[in-house]
Structure 1
Amino acid sequence: MTAHPMLIAGEWRSAPADASTFQPSNPSTGELLPDTYPVASSAEIDALLDAGLSASQTLAETDPTAIAAFLEAYADGIAAATDELAALASTETGLPVKPRLEVVEIPRTTGQLRQAAAAARAGDWKQPVIDTANNLRSQLEPLGKPVLVIGPNNFPFAFNGIAGGDFAAAIATGHAVIAKAHPAHPGTSKRLAEIALAATATAGVPTATIQLYYRSSHAEGHRMASDPRLGAIGFTGSEGAGRKIKAAADAVGKPAYFELSSVNPVAFLPGALAEKAADLATEFSGSCLLGTGQFCTNPGLLLTIAGADTETFLTTAAANFNAAPSGVMLVPSLPGELDASVKALVADGAELMGRGTQPTEPGFRAQPALLRVSGATFLGDPKAFQREMFGPGALVVVAADADELAAVAEHLESSLTASFYSASDGSDDALYDRLVPIIAAKAGRLLNDKMPTGVAVSPAMVHGGPFPAGGHPGFTAVGIPASLRRFGALRCYDNVRAGRLPATLQDKNPNGVIWRLIDGTWTQADVAS
């Protein structure tokens, strides 16, 4: 069976006949899909890097309007192929065509591509600074090298290496992207790459602005991560793989941005539970079970204080989990990994309170699981009780009192989010004020009276946090233009002649739109003569 080609240097290049290959599966049925994809060789990795370097050097000097035109043409192409793409992705991931793919994720993907286009055209991500007294001018600029983007299994569009947020940010800042397709949805990634390649011709940017491969050996992947031809890395995936990539990048000082493990703690304070314990249990259950729990912001760790209202909450939540069906997961290993995590937590002292129905249909299906543990037991081994259960699983920590809950909070690891439910009458305010300084510092996004599962594509959104939840506490994977700044190199021009300055640092505002910090004031005006 002939393997699908890789997109290298603007051409669909077939792998050698003796190349290693793999086949994806249909998670809903458990059956192998007929298509075969190659594992990239060392020579092919080198070709990707060479072409990406050349294209990035060209893009760094390309008019931002052409880059914006590419992103917009690509978004138009995806929108036009929505039905085809959603059907293909559903086959590869088991995610429903409607509403998840057609109504939610594909429009989100095209929306963030268009937002990135607008940011590229405006140029505000560069944050130009001009000091006329000292004749110093600085701004963020492209790295001049390609960005490797590795997407996750759970978002075949919005976080895909060839179409998602990291891709959009890297392109908008003038970088070619070498995209690694996730093995769970390679066909979807290939079709996206075909649409993107057509958009390069429409916009007149280099064809190697986008390249795609499907898999490599671990050795080749680590070599690529440390190669001097690569400018930066954006990775969303498992903590184990991310740590290895980080080690390779850190060894050579390469910027790398990650989204890895996160249990996303949610504190249900006593007054909130007194007001509506059963309703909050239903709200939590819906969030945890959404998409079979395969969201990076899935609420996996709940913090409570013992009491009758907490027991009401737990009884309702356990009933919801017991009644929940075993949903489809994205790859074959995930249901077993969830089971292993549940067994490990029970062995460590947690109590299993709710377990979804046994799967009776084919495919990769996982039983939802709700567990509880006392605050004292949690404090005996905090790391063990913060193992990530990727999927529809959560652990409730029931502290004896506020002091024990604060002690639990002190031992929390980093997460993408931290959520608090508190009483409307203010009775929880003192405890909230005590806990927030402890917990919020360990997360990128603080929520009140709201589940963390949704991630809006907004300039104010932060989707990141301290490592290993994110790659760096100062950066976000969602939220334009902030997400673009991850891929910028800060450069200073000291006494450089006016004609040699980049357009955005010259006295005249190049487009009348970009905001520049001129002698301490943010303005869209020209430098005063």
Structure 2
Amino acid sequence: MTFHGKHLIAGAWVGSDDTFSSTPVAGTPIAVSKGTPAQVDAAAQAAEAAFPAYAATTRETRATFLEAIADEIEARGDTITEIGTAETGLPAGRLEGERGRTTGQLRLFAAHIRDGAYLDRRHDEALPDRAPLPRPDLRMMQRPTGPVAVFGASNFPLAFSTAGGDTASALAAGCPVVVKGHEAHPGTAEVVAEAIHAAIEATGMPAGTFSMIHGGSHEVGGALVRHPLIKAVGFTGSLRGGKALFDLCAQRPEPIPFFGELGSINPMFFLPAATASRAEEMAKGWAGSLTMGAGQFCTNPGALVLIEGPETEAFLAAAKAALEETAPQTMLTEGIADAYRTGAETLSSQSGVQEVMTSTCDLRNAAPYLLRTTGAEWMENETLGHEVFGPLGIAIVVHDADEMLAVAKSFAGQLTATLMMGEDDTPLAQRLLPVLERMAGRVLANGFPTGVEVCDAMVHGGPYPASTNFGATSVGTMAIRRFLRPVCYQNLPEALLPRDLQ
């Protein structure tokens, strides 16, 4: 495939006068068209024009469309792997696995909407003879909200980007999608956009059902979330960038929901019995989770809470040894690598922080860090809780169970929180659980949070700043709820009711 670096707007590949250059780890950079507000407007107008027809399609029709997208992505699998590895430095096996997750969640949403339970259909029949007042016939179901904006993520070029979970769930709901591609992998975005376009043509969907616009400046994202025809936004990225877009959504004449997944340090609580019995095993597992993918996962376990004692010292020594065996890894972009180095230096320089293991990182490479502090220092210094995107961990060593509970209460909202426990730790775990439930969208026991299963029960979200909407998830079938709203139909004739209510 020859990459042209253009935008896909309602079935047409459109260029721009200005371009930016991609920054691949290997291979030749691509000249990519910069998006413009005019192109955002064209894509949003096309999405709004497509909305009535697309929203009126049957669940079977949309399910077939989602499966066709999955088929088209798989047909381009080798090309996606080739360009994806060159652009991001991710190994081929990781991208092939991520491609399987991407096509798998498209097919999962196809099955989910075929089932129909997500519509939450309700019917209160008329009671014309009820006294003192009759009751009308009332029917309710979930309906699509309208065109949705989706922002591609830097760290998942497939599963959280052009045809990722936000796009899949919005299309499943009946909402056209306008994607703002991420500058880190424009060639990958182009191939996947072509796959969606091919599925649109094969299944006869309206051309404006999907558009993809490259970035190149903050102007594109701002224009997209401010556009009056966009009715919801899906975003995965940094707290700073997501908060800026969230504020724009709230400041619109018609505020719209911004479903942002903004980051997390995913604390793990190592309880005494578990630490005493399997310190080395847990240390190796944690080190592997921390360094997986150069630490560039939103579920990266960056904070450890342990009670002081010889078992904790053994754990930290084993963790250091495991991290020392990890070779430097290539990060997704030069900007991410620079931010990692800066974040590591900032935390290392804080009062009360000790360096258990330090690293030297240069160019686009990342090596792990392990820092240590006390519970008192942690609770006094807000900076220590800031996410450093990469393989950096900070161990918070507390005096006793009461201080562990106090530290737990000090955490801001998280995507995950984990209890590493043995049978004798149950009483302490019972004290901690109510705190962790309020803190995180997913609570784990005796596992590591990296790896998010795409299924019905998954919650990938949490209280702010983990996400901007604690009642939503960006992974799993419940993600479709973000792009639906309930509509009640009172005394409507059968012929006027939506097909799924007739």
- TM above 0.5, yes or no, is yes
Q: Number of matched residues?
A: 488
Instruction: Give how far 1:80 is off.
Output: 1.9
The residue number in structure 1 matching 2:95 is 101
Instruction: Give how far 1:45 is off.
Output: 1.4
Residue 141 of structure 2 aligns to a residue whose secondary structure is strand
Instruction: Give how far 1:440 is off.
Output: 2.1
CA contact (8 A) 2:37 2:223 kept: no
After superposition, where does 1:389-400 map in structure 2 within 5 Å?
389-400=388-399
The residue number in structure 2 matching 1:9 is 10
Instruction: Give how far 1:61 is off.
Output: 1.4
Residue 334 of structure 2 aligns to a residue whose secondary structure is coil
Show CA shifts across 1:406-430 (max 9, x none): 111111011100100111xx22111
CA contact (8 A) 1:415 1:466 kept: yes
Instruction: Give how far 1:220 is off.
Output: 4.4
Show CA shifts across 1:240-289 (max 9, x none): 11001111111232011111120001000011001110111001000001
Q: Which amino acid aligns with 1:23?
A: S
Residue 69 of structure 1 aligns to a residue whose secondary structure is helix
Deviates further, 330-339 or 277-286? 330-339
Give distance in 1, aligned partners of 2:415 and 2:386. Answer: 15
CA contact (8 A) 2:180 2:221 kept: no
The residue number in structure 1 matching 2:147 is 146
After superposition, where does 1:114-263 map in structure 2 within 5 Å?
114-133=107-126, 134=135, 135-143=137-145, 145-160=146-161, 162-215=162-215, 217-251=217-251, 252-263=254-265
The answer to whether the aligner puts 1:501 opposite 2:497 as a matched pair is yes
The residue number in structure 2 matching 1:441 is 438
The residue number in structure 2 matching 1:417 is 416
The answer to whether the aligner puts 1:333 opposite 2:332 as a matched pair is no
Give distance in 2, aligned partners of 1:187 and 1:26. Answer: 10
After superposition, where does 1:85-96 map in structure 2 within 5 Å?
85-96=80-91
Please list every run of 5 or more consecutive structure 2 residues that lacks an aligned counterpart in the other structure. 127-134
Instruction: Give how far 1:155 is off.
Output: 0.8
Q: Which amino acid aligns with 1:393?
A: L
The residue number in structure 1 matching 2:354 is 351
CA contact (8 A) 2:36 2:219 kept: no
The residue number in structure 2 matching 1:51 is 46
The residue number in structure 2 matching 1:112 is 105
Show CA shifts across 1:474-528 (max 9, x none): 1111111x1111100211111222222112222xxxxxxxxxxxxxxxxxxxxxx
Runs ≥4 residues deviating over 6 A = none
Q: Which amino acid aligns with 1:165?
A: G
The answer to whether the aligner puts 1:485 opposite 2:495 as a matched pair is no
CA contact (8 A) 1:193 1:212 kept: yes
The residue number in structure 2 matching 1:387 is 386
The answer to whether the aligner puts 1:274 opposite 2:272 as a matched pair is no
Give distance in 1, aligned partners of 2:277 and 2:437. Answer: 24
Give distance in 1, aligned partners of 2:120 and 2:484. Answer: 10
Aligned counterpart in structure 2 of residue 26 of structure 1, from 16, 24, 42 = 24
Give distance in 2, aligned partners of 1:189 and 1:262. Answer: 26
Give distance in 2, aligned partners of 1:466 and 1:494. Answer: 36
Give distance in 1, aligned partners of 2:432 and 2:495. Answer: 55
CA contact (8 A) 1:319 1:354 kept: no
Q: Which amino acid aligns with 1:83?
A: D
Residue 444 of structure 2 aligns to a residue whose secondary structure is strand
Give distance in 2, aligned partners of 1:188 and 1:358. Answer: 27
Instruction: Give how far 1:123 is off.
Output: 2.6
Please list every run of 5 or more consecutive structure 1 residues that lacks an aligned counterpart in the other structure. 507-529
Give distance in 1, aligned partners of 2:237 and 2:34. Answer: 19
CA contact (8 A) 1:272 1:421 kept: yes
Show CA shifts across 1:351-392 (max 9, x none): 111134666xxx5101211111011111221x2111101011
Instruction: Give how far 1:119 is off.
Output: 2.1
Give distance in 2, aligned partners of 1:335 and 1:4. Answer: 25
Q: Percent identity?
A: 39
CA contact (8 A) 2:412 2:464 kept: no
Show CA shifts across 1:420-470 (max 9, x none): 0111xx221111111111122110001000000010111111111112212
Deviates further, 496-505 or 229-238? 496-505
Give distance in 2, aligned partners of 1:127 and 1:503. Answer: 14
Give distance in 2, aligned partners of 1:317 and 1:445. Answer: 24
Give distance in 1, aligned partners of 2:54 and 2:102. Answer: 23
Q: Which amino acid aligns with 2:104?
A: G
Give distance in 2, aligned partners of 1:223 and 1:154. Answer: 23
Instruction: Give how far 1:66 is off.
Output: 2.0
Q: Which amino acid aligns with 1:222?
A: G
Residue 205 of structure 1 aligns to a residue whose secondary structure is coil
Aligned counterpart in structure 1 of residue 426 of structure 2, from 422, 426, 429 = 429
Deviates further, 332-341 or 43-52? 332-341
CA contact (8 A) 2:40 2:223 kept: no
Give distance in 1, aligned partners of 2:255 and 2:361. Answer: 48
TM-score by length of structure 2 reads 0.94
The residue number in structure 2 matching 1:463 is 460
CA contact (8 A) 1:226 1:248 kept: yes
Give distance in 1, aligned partners of 2:400 and 2:392. Answer: 25
Q: Which amino acid aligns with 2:342?
A: A
Give distance in 2, aligned partners of 1:123 and 1:179. Answer: 26
The residue number in structure 1 matching 2:400 is 401
The residue number in structure 2 matching 1:514 is none
1:193/1:71 CA distance change after superposition, 3 Å: same
The residue number in structure 2 matching 1:526 is none
Deviates further, 118-127 or 438-447? 118-127
